[in-house]
Structure 1
Amino acid sequence: MTLKARWLVQPPLTPQAKESLAAFSPILGQILFNRGYATDAAARAYLRGKSTFDTSPWQLTGIETTVTRIRYALEHAEPIAIYGDYDVDGVTATALLVQTLRALGADVRGYIPNRFDEGYGLNPEALDNLKEQGVRLVITVDCGIRSPDEAAYARTIGLDLIISDHHHPAAGELPPALAVINPKQPGDTYPDKDLAGVGVAYKIAQALIEASEQRIPGSRDMASRSVLRDTETHDTETLDSLLDLVALGTVADLAPLTGENRVLVRKGLQIIRTTHRQGLFALANVAELSLPRTTATHIGFVLGPRLNAAGRLDSALAAFELLTTTDVLRAGELAQKLDVQNRERQAKTRTIQEQAEKIALAEDPDALLLLAVHPDFNPGVVGLAASRLVDLYYRPAIVGQNGEEFTRCSCRS
């Protein structure tokens, strides 16, 4: 059975929108209208890359508690851990907060769980290990919103936990953390609900830098200071220098490039094109990418897949180190490693796609849902294989790995 794509043709300009957008050419006016901009002010803000709403981080529920607790840790030299996810969004969010806190003099380390040994999100064993290392404060990025049991466990072992995430919380249940930063949580007044995990981390950094009386000159970490520009810059320039990470994570996570995301990514691309981040130089070099010409497409199809490859096949810590190192030789080694892993990921994806295709169509070639599971499928790339099946057959697809106790699947439609 062949399913044909349905073309959704946008409606023409309404008379009111046509009048409001009269200053623009008919074609540009129609494009702006198609994208949801029906007034002159909204259209001009879109074209200039400006937000049309208040983007102050202080609107986020829990942000004051978060900043107060972090500043207490800074003042008392308490060890802090940033607990991230193993995709590009989580890795960039981890790098962003680690570098921000190091620049403010914090004793901070990044922690990203291994996909194969630990799975997604918070886990008690990792919390125990961090506690044994002397960590007093754990801040999650891009994960944790659906980990109420783990949050409760952190409290029992004496860890203060701040959860920052962008995923939807479970209905009627938030983790019992010291603070939860998530624009999607009930009652949160932040106007943009579509920030990626790295975008939420950026809002924390923004609030922290705005509130902090400490300045970059007091930093003990010269590497972070080099990434966060020189010691005489204003807070805005300091924050803008982190937007390359925001752009990488936002685009790679397929967050909608509208609202504040579009503003942040647009600025982030400008930072990438003139980057001071050694890891990006090295990664672009192995990918044969000209950084001054980088677009969101290059993030999605060149840089993002290479950064993601580490977490899909092994440990995402290689990608994290690449984004935070200032060592030229080490950056080159890591970039080469990620490039090789990306090639391996591509080969595994093709193999699994072919096998999944045979399994899914074996009994019913006309099935409206494609389902394929096998013990040998790599759980790090089953989602990519499912996406390929959707593109090929225009049907929802589920591809997964049979384990001894569980079958873990990725669904795409």
Structure 2
Amino acid sequence: MFQPNYLGLCEKLKFWKFKPNVPTELSQNLGLDSFSAQLLFNRKIETLKQVEIFLNPNHDSLINPYDLPEMELAVERIKTALENNESIGIFGDFDVDGISATAILLSTLNDFGISAFPYIPNRVSEGHGLNRKSLDYFKSKNVSLIITVDCGTTDLDEVSNAKSMGIDVIITDHHLPLESRPNSAALINPNLPESNYSNKNLTGSGTAFKLATAIYNSFKKPIPNTLIQYAALGTISDVGILNPENRFIVSEGITQMRNTQSIGLKALAEKSGTNLNTITSQDAAFKLIPRLNAPGRLENAIIALEILTTTNENTAHKVAIELESLNEKRKSMTSKSIFQARNQTKSNQLGIDIQEIIIVQHNDWHPGIIGLIANQLSEQFSKPAIAIATNGKNSKGSARSVVDFNIIEALKECSDILTKFGGHSKAAGFTIDETFIPELIKRLANTSNQKHSSESKSKFEIECTTTVKEVINHFEFILSLEPFGPGNPTPIFLSQRMKVINAKTVGHTKDHLKMTLSDNEKYYDSIGFGLGNLIGQSNGYIDIIYQISENTWNGMTNFQLIIKDFVKSE
């Protein structure tokens, strides 16, 4: 498949990377046309056995849960709680990974007749991790065992406090540990130094799913299908790398959603316009998950847990409406804040030369959406990005990074000026006194300039150069590559000399670019999210890089091109 030479054509094309052509003999060996073989070759799939495993994920990809550290200790402690009629508290996190993990263990414990009390902290007033307020709540419920999900590994003081209150703690988490360990009854984390668990990218919900699996297996009971559906939502939300185990969790979870018995998921799908009969991982990522995330960003995430676990249709319908309203509010706030953030990057309002990292701040930003701001900026500029909601001594920051820059290690070097911080290599959060922000900026600017160069990194990896017609003809094959995510990105194609029929900016702040394009045979609707600034170039003939999607509106389904970038045709 022909890959054009754009070298030196324009500055932005340093972010376009073309994959090498598939060898002709490989296409023949696989018995596939060159387009299909190219997509598999790009994913390092080169044998018939690899094709079978990739296109048909199966249970063999699931790793024995007892390979996780201290899994046996955790199961035995939970069995003791069941025998002694103890009450168990579940402490989650407010994002969808944490909510899904909480739903998994709440459903599991309830299924065995255990009295369980979930607690989801408020993002703004409580932040991440166990805290005194939650311990007091659990004590008031006569809880004698707490299970944390998606957190807890670094909560040394809080676990000790729980112990002093007569409460044991089982930690299920996937975040990186400190040198010191909490005094817990069990610490289940694939990323402990002594862990032999091969999937180091297991998410919080994935870890909770493994504990649930071990519990059901110990009682020789079948695992309810809803649990892997929750694990799929959490894995997609937390952008878990799609290694074989995570790929199976997402693939099987999405498949099970098509026949889900979850009243809440049905209500959420209906309200979000998601057809569960044909749901994909992309539908989950862009329709279901933002609505489940919205309450945790703006208010309290407990209603997101409620819709996942309710057995009452009226409650599910009511909560779905509330989630829709919160998501609309979140979108409006996010759009305004991202507009402000982009203006800061244009005018360099911080007044500091920070070539390899973007840092923006505002006293009007809601702490619940700064992660979205950082993510947008990081994706747009292919650099680490940090957004800070300034608020005196309690200023909150959220960071998103790129492949070659470990953001949590960079923050560790600034730990003396941070009140609190946590996360992993690509995403992190912190609390800081506003007076220390200038010093933080200087240190991170120095670190990023030394360790990261955006010049060497491609923003878009292009599968092949082809026609829109060819992509549409292979749409079913493209879908067979699902689920998409880290390790298996949604395919991006290049099509040349597309004629712009019309173009306009859309969205609250005109951030997005909507175009009708033609290949001289057909017209195609297209949307470029965040490309509104390119309206002046949206004329004549253009070469586009894009993803393909189906768009259903008023009962009509058409193909839509999701434009990632474009240049004027030569």
Q: TM-score, normalised by structure 1?
A: 0.88
Q: Which residue of 1 aligns with 2:377?
A: 389
Deviations 1:177-204 (A, max 9, x none): 1111111111211221211111111110
Q: Which residue of 1 aligns with 2:425?
A: none
Q: Label 1:14 to 1:239 Cα distance change in 2 as closer, same or farther (>3 A).
A: farther
Q: Which residue of 1 aligns with 2:17?
A: 8
Q: Which has the larger radius of gyration?
A: 2
2:351 is equivalent to residue 380 of structure 1: no
Partner Cα separation in structure 2 for residue 292 and residue 389 of structure 1: 34
Q: Label 1:14 to 1:339 Cα distance change in 2 as closer, same or farther (>3 A).
A: same
Partner Cα separation in structure 1 for residue 136 and residue 308 of structure 2: 27
2:219 is equivalent to residue 205 of structure 1: no
Deviations 1:198-235 (A, max 9, x none): 1111110110011126x6xxxxxxxxxxxxxxxxxxx1
Partner Cα separation in structure 2 for residue 2 and residue 47 of structure 1: 37
The question of whether the paired residues in 1 share the 8 Å contact of 2:117 and 2:138 is answered with: no
Q: Which residue of 2 aligns with 1:223?
A: none
Distance apart, 1:409 and its partner CA: 0.9
Which amino acid in structure 2 is aligned with residue 390 of structure 1? Answer: S
1:354 aligns with one of 332, 335, 339:
339
2:146 is equivalent to residue 138 of structure 1: yes
Q: Partner of 2:184: helix, strand, or coil?
A: coil
2:301 is equivalent to residue 316 of structure 1: yes
Partner Cα separation in structure 1 for residue 13 and residue 299 of structure 2: 38
Q: Label 1:11 to 1:80 Cα distance change in 2 as closer, same or farther (>3 A).
A: same
Distance apart, 1:52 and its partner CA: 5.8
Q: Label 1:306 to 1:5 Cα distance change in 2 as closer, same or farther (>3 A).
A: farther
2:153 is equivalent to residue 165 of structure 1: no
Partner Cα separation in structure 2 for residue 259 and residue 185 of structure 1: 20
Q: Which residue of 2 aligns with 1:221?
A: none
2:415 is equivalent to residue 406 of structure 1: no
2:123 is equivalent to residue 115 of structure 1: yes
Q: Partner of 1:371: helix, strand, or coil?
A: strand
Q: Normalized per residue, which structure has more helix? A: 1
Q: Label 1:187 to 1:24 Cα distance change in 2 as closer, same or farther (>3 A).
A: farther
1:326 aligns with one of 311, 321, 332:
311
Distance apart, 1:2 and its partner CA: 6.5
Partner Cα separation in structure 2 for residue 2 and residue 377 of structure 1: 32
Correspondence list, 1:29-178, <5 A:
29-50=37-58, 55-170=63-178, 172-178=179-185
Q: Partner of 1:131: helix, strand, or coil?
A: helix
Q: Partner of 1:22: helix, strand, or coil?
A: helix
Deviations 1:46-84 (A, max 9, x none): 221136656111111100000000011011110001110
Cα RMSD for the two superposed structures = 2.4
Is the deviation greater in 5-14 or in 307-316? 5-14
Partner Cα separation in structure 2 for residue 10 and residue 394 of structure 1: 19
Distance apart, 1:255 and its partner CA: 1.0
Deviations 1:247-300 (A, max 9, x none): 111111111223111111111111111111111111111112211111000111
Higher RCO structure, 1 or 2 (CA under 8 Å, sep 6+)? 1
Q: Partner of 2:303: helix, strand, or coil?
A: helix
Partner Cα separation in structure 1 for residue 183 and residue 152 of structure 2: 11
Partner Cα separation in structure 2 for residue 209 and residue 12 of structure 1: 47
The question of whether the paired residues in 2 share the 8 Å contact of 1:59 and 1:190 is answered with: yes
Q: Partner of 1:136: helix, strand, or coil?
A: strand
Q: Normalized per residue, which structure has more strand? A: 2
Is the deviation greater in 402-411 or in 69-78? 402-411
Distance apart, 1:118 and its partner CA: 0.8
Q: Which residue of 2 aligns with 1:182?
A: 189
Which amino acid in structure 2 is aligned with residue 44 of structure 1? Answer: E
The question of whether the paired residues in 1 share the 8 Å contact of 2:97 and 2:203 is answered with: yes
2:237 is equivalent to residue 252 of structure 1: yes
The question of whether the paired residues in 2 share the 8 Å contact of 1:124 and 1:150 is answered with: yes
Q: Which residue of 2 aligns with 1:231?
A: none
Distance apart, 1:110 and its partner CA: 1.1
Q: Partner of 2:16: helix, strand, or coil?
A: coil
Q: Partner of 1:339: helix, strand, or coil?
A: helix
The question of whether the paired residues in 2 share the 8 Å contact of 1:361 and 1:367 is answered with: no
Partner Cα separation in structure 1 for residue 56 and residue 291 of structure 2: 31
Which amino acid in structure 2 is aligned with residue 278 of structure 1? Answer: I
The question of whether the paired residues in 2 share the 8 Å contact of 1:145 and 1:165 is answered with: yes
The question of whether the paired residues in 2 share the 8 Å contact of 1:95 and 1:320 is answered with: yes
The question of whether the paired residues in 2 share the 8 Å contact of 1:396 and 1:412 is answered with: yes
Is the deviation greater in 243-252 or in 78-87? 243-252
Q: Which residue of 2 aligns with 1:336?
A: 321
Q: Label 1:168 to 1:293 Cα distance change in 2 as closer, same or farther (>3 A).
A: same
Q: Label 1:54 to 1:98 Cα distance change in 2 as closer, same or farther (>3 A).
A: closer
The question of whether the paired residues in 1 share the 8 Å contact of 2:101 and 2:230 is answered with: yes
Partner Cα separation in structure 2 for residue 128 and residue 93 of structure 1: 22
Distance apart, 1:408 and its partner CA: 1.3
The question of whether the paired residues in 1 share the 8 Å contact of 2:62 and 2:245 is answered with: no
Q: Label 1:352 to 1:103 Cα distance change in 2 as closer, same or farther (>3 A).
A: same
Q: Structure 1: 5+ residue runs without aligned partners?
A: 216-234
Partner Cα separation in structure 1 for residue 181 and residue 19 of structure 2: 39
The question of whether the paired residues in 2 share the 8 Å contact of 1:141 and 1:163 is answered with: yes
Partner Cα separation in structure 2 for residue 307 and residue 159 of structure 1: 30
Distance apart, 1:36 and its partner CA: 3.2
Q: How many residues get paired?
A: 388
Q: Label 1:129 to 1:365 Cα distance change in 2 as closer, same or farther (>3 A).
A: closer
Distance apart, 1:339 and its partner CA: 0.3
Q: Partner of 1:8: helix, strand, or coil?
A: strand
2:274 aligns with one of 272, 289, 314:
289
Distance apart, 1:140 and its partner CA: 0.6
